[in-house]
């Protein structure tokens, strides 16, 4: 009987975000790139392609982090032991070897 209650009651939350996505419930403060980039999650469009291997990406940030797998650049370093990583996710996984924390398996490195 009370199942509908959870979805209701978000007063004014979208009022300051005038650019809604018409395909899902999300809305955005600026039209610009936010909505455009978000729409790609629906269209599957991947305008950024890797010049090395041709792999395609939705966001430029994804491409630049992928490029590091080719360049070998490792901008993320561990403050505890100094080991360097190409992906921030790999550093986070590595940090757990110091803390002993293991909440889930890293999808990239499998550690």
Nearer to Zn ion, 26 or 74 (CB): 26
Beta carbon nearer to Zn ion, 37 or 78: 78
What mask of x and - would describe binding to Zn ion in positions 50 to 89, judged by CB under 5 A?
A: x-xx-x----------------------x-xx-x------
Q: Under a CB-based contact definition with an 8 Å cutoff, are residues 27 and 21 in contact?
A: yes
Span from 4-12, 29-37, 45-53, 101-109 in contact with Zn ion (CB under 5 A)? 45-53
Are 92 and 104 contacting, i.e. CB atoms less than 8 angstroms apart?
no
Residue numbers 5-24 binding Zn ion by CB under 5 A? 21, 23-24
| Phi and psi torsions of 48, nearest 5° | -100, 115
H/E element, 43: helix 36-43
Kind and range of the H or E run holding 57: strand 56-57
Nearest to 102 by CA among 110, 80, 89, 93: 93
Q: Which is nearer to Zn ion, 37 or 50 (CB)?
A: 50
Q: Which residues bind Zn ion (CB under 5 A)?
A: 21, 23-24, 26, 50, 52-53, 55, 78, 80-81, 83
């Amino acid at each position: 009987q009370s199942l509908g209650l959870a979805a209701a009651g978000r007063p004014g939350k979208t009022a300051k975000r005038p650019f809604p996505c018409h395909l899902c419930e999300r809305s955005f403060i600026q039209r610009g790139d936010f909505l455009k980039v978000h729409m790609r999650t629906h269209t599957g469009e991947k305008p950024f392609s890797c010049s090395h291997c041709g792999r395609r990406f939705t966001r430029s940030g994804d491409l630049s982090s992928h490029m590091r797998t080719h360049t070998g650049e490792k901008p993320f370093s561990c403050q505890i032991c100094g080991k360097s990583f190409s992906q921030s996710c790999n550093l986070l996984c590595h940090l757990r070897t110091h803390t002993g924390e293991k909440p889930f398996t890293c999808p990239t490195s499998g550690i």
